[in-house]
């Protein structure tokens, strides 16, 4: 993890949309939520770390406000989401508490995850919550973002969370059995696609290219696009029927007839390192001592401030920096946990002094191992 040890547990991002969470658009489907929670509890007992992505705030908000017909004005939907989010999270917290677990509310926008600094913060917080055995419940922050309200697009948000966490699996629960060769509501010979390669563009044709929401808001198109995005972090996507009994447990057992599996040969770790190596433009340079060089190249550890001699450039937390030896040889590139101003104050100092020097501590490491690529 970013602040602390790397965990070898599997991480799953499990998303359910409004069609499953709500009772025909009127308030929450408490039975569905209870069954969903029970399965997540069992997955956790089996050592799978779960992050839920849940809609349902607007529907619950409308019920709480006594509004019968869904408004068309965005600000009214956003207000309903703000009211309903309370009910949604209350429900999850109550259900999980019955199993001795706590939940955490995480409201995100797509932009949050595009911003390097917020990306690192979100990743650190989620990793910490998982280590504390808390179940994070993610939804779009509807007060300031409207992607889901307008496009039904929590699928993309779920994929971004999969990237953020290098998740092993992204499970998109829906009211369909999976992706069909054509629209099953119109053509009787439409066949369920049971498996495919995540990122295979021909799947988009079947999902109704250019027609997002063909099978309902946030339909198959956004799900296939989400799988394309998720595979960037080595995450496999499974599109499955949320109301099938024990669907998550059957997926955990790798059973057949559990929807559409879009898999990849890449592991999340390999994918993350490739992404780091290929997409980062270094904003600064850290000159490290021979001890730090050894620890990075031979022991697979993180870079600590004490091993850094010099800091060059102007960078923010979450930006990429190059690590070189004193003779200028490039050793690694990684996402730094402290800005250049902060880094200059803490280099050469032990981790235990960071809080005293800065007045706070973001992470014990200057660059965590997970966010570091070593040049061989
Ligand atoms: N994120 C919103 C929710 O959780 C949007 C869903 C909608 O527009 O109905 O309710």
Counting ligand 1 atoms within 8 A of each CB, the residue from 23, 148, 154 with the most, and so the one to mutate, is: 148
In this model, does residue 192 exceed pLDDT 70?
Answer: yes
In this model, does residue 217 exceed pLDDT 60?
Answer: no
Q: What is the mean pLDDT of the chain?
A: 90
pLDDT tens for 82-100 read 999 999 999 999 999 999 9
Residue spans of the domains in the chain: they are 10-272, 281-374
Give how far Cα 375 sits from Cα of 1, 102, 298, 300, 325, Å. Answer: 21, 41, 12, 12, 12
CB of 55 closer than 6 A to ligand 1? yes
Q: How far, in Å, CA of 100 to CA of 193, rounded?
A: 38
CB of 81 closer than 6 A to ligand 1? yes
pLDDT tens for 235-275 read 999 999 999 999 999 999 999 999 999 999 888 877 878 77
Residue 214 alpha carbon to ligand 1 centre in Å: 18
pLDDT of residue 24: 79
pLDDT of residue 6: 40
In this model, does residue 334 exceed pLDDT 60?
Answer: yes
Of 338, 237, 179, nearest to 15 by C-alpha is 237
The predicted model scores a pTM of 0.86
**pLDDT band at residue 187 using 50, 70 and 90 as cut-offs:** confident
The whole-number average pLDDT for the span 278-297 is 90
pLDDT of residue 331: 95
What is the fold, at CATH topology level, of the domain defined by 281-374? 2.30.130
**pLDDT band at residue 279 using 50, 70 and 90 as cut-offs:** low
Contacts of residue 66, defined as CB under 8 A and 6 or more positions apart, other chains included, come to: none
- Assign domain 10-272 one CATH number from 3.40.50.300, 3.40.1160.10, 1.25.40.10, 3.10.180.10: 3.40.1160.10
In this model, does residue 122 exceed pLDDT 90?
Answer: yes
> Do residues 213 and 143 touch, judged by C-beta distance below 8 A?
no
Three-class SS of residue 34? helix
Atom of ligand 1 nearest to the CA of 85: 4
The whole-number average pLDDT for the span 148-161 is 88
Residue 218 alpha carbon to ligand 1 centre in Å: 11
Residue 57 alpha carbon to ligand 1 centre in Å: 5
Tell me which of 182-196, 251-265, 308-322 is least confident: 182-196
Residue 41 alpha carbon to ligand 1 centre in Å: 25
Torsion-angle region of 198 (φ positive above 0: left; ψ -120 to 50: alpha; else: beta):
beta
**pLDDT band at residue 213 using 50, 70 and 90 as cut-offs:** very low
Q: 261 — phi, psi (to 5°)? A: -105, 120
> Do residues 164 and 158 touch, judged by C-beta distance below 8 A?
no
pLDDT tens for 25-82 read 678 999 999 999 999 999 999 999 999 999 999 999 999 999 999 999 999 999 999 9
DSSP annotation string for 39-102: HHHHHHHTTEEEEEEE--HHHHHHHHHT--S----HHHHHHHHHHHHHHHHHHHHHHHHTTT--
Three-class SS of residue 212? coil
In this model, does residue 347 exceed pLDDT 60?
Answer: yes
- Mark 145-159 as b/e (b = at least 16 C-beta within 10 Å): bbbbbeebbbbbbbb
- Mark 177-188 as b/e (b = at least 16 C-beta within 10 Å): bbbbeeebeeee
CB atoms within 10 A of CB 244: 15
The whole-number average pLDDT for the span 305-333 is 95
Domains 10-272 and 281-374 share a fold: no
Counting ligand 1 atoms within 8 A of each CB, the residue from 54, 139, 145 with the most, and so the one to mutate, is: 139
CB of 139 closer than 6 A to ligand 1? yes
């Amino acid at each position: 993890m970013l602040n602390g040890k790397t965990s070898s547990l599997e991480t799953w991002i499990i998303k359910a949309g409004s069609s499953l969470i709500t009772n025909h658009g009127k308030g929450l489907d408490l039975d569905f939520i209870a069954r969903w929670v029970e399965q997540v509890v069992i997955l956790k007992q089996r050592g799978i770390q779960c992050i839920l992505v849940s809609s349902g705030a607007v529907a619950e908000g409308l019920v709480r406000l006594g509004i019968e017909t869904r408004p068309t004005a965005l600000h009214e939907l956003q207000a309903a989401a703000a009211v309903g989010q309370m009910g949604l999270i209350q429900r999850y917290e109550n259900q999980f508490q019955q199993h001795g677990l706590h939940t955490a509310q995480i409201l995100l926008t797509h932009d949050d995850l595009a911003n390097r600094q917020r990306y690192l913060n979100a990743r650190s917080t989620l990793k910490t919550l998982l280590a504390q055995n808390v179940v994070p419940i993610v939804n779009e922050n509807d007060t300031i973002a409207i992607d889901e309200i307008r496009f039904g697009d929590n699928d993309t948000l779920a994929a971004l969370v999969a990237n953020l966490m290098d998740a092993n699996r992204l499970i998109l629960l829906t009211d369909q059995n999976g992706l069909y060769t054509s629209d099953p509501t119109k053509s009787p010979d439409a066949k369920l696609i049971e498996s495919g390669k995540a990122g295979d563009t021909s799947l988009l044709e079947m999902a109704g290219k250019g027609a997002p929401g063909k099978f309902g808001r946030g339909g198959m198109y956004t799900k296939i696009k989400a799988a394309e995005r998720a595979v960037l972090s080595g995450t496999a996507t499974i599109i499955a029927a949320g109301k099938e009994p024990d669907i998550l447990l059957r997926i955990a057992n790798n059973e057949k007839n559990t929807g559409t599996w879009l898999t990849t040969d890449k592991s999340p770790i390999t994918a993350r390192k490739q992404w780091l190596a290929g997409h980062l433009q270094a904003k600064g340079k850290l000159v490290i001592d021979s001890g730090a060089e050894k620890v990075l190249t031979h022991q697979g550890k993180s870079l600590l401030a004490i091993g850094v001699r010099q800091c060059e450039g102007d960078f923010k937390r979450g930006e990429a920096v190059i690590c070189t030896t004193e003779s200028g040889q490039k050793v690694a590139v990684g996402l730094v946990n402290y800005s250049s101003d902060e880094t200059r104050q803490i280099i050469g100092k032990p981790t235990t002094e960071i809080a005293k020097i800065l007045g706070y501590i973001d992470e014990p490491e200057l660059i965590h191992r997970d966010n570091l690529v070593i040049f061989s």
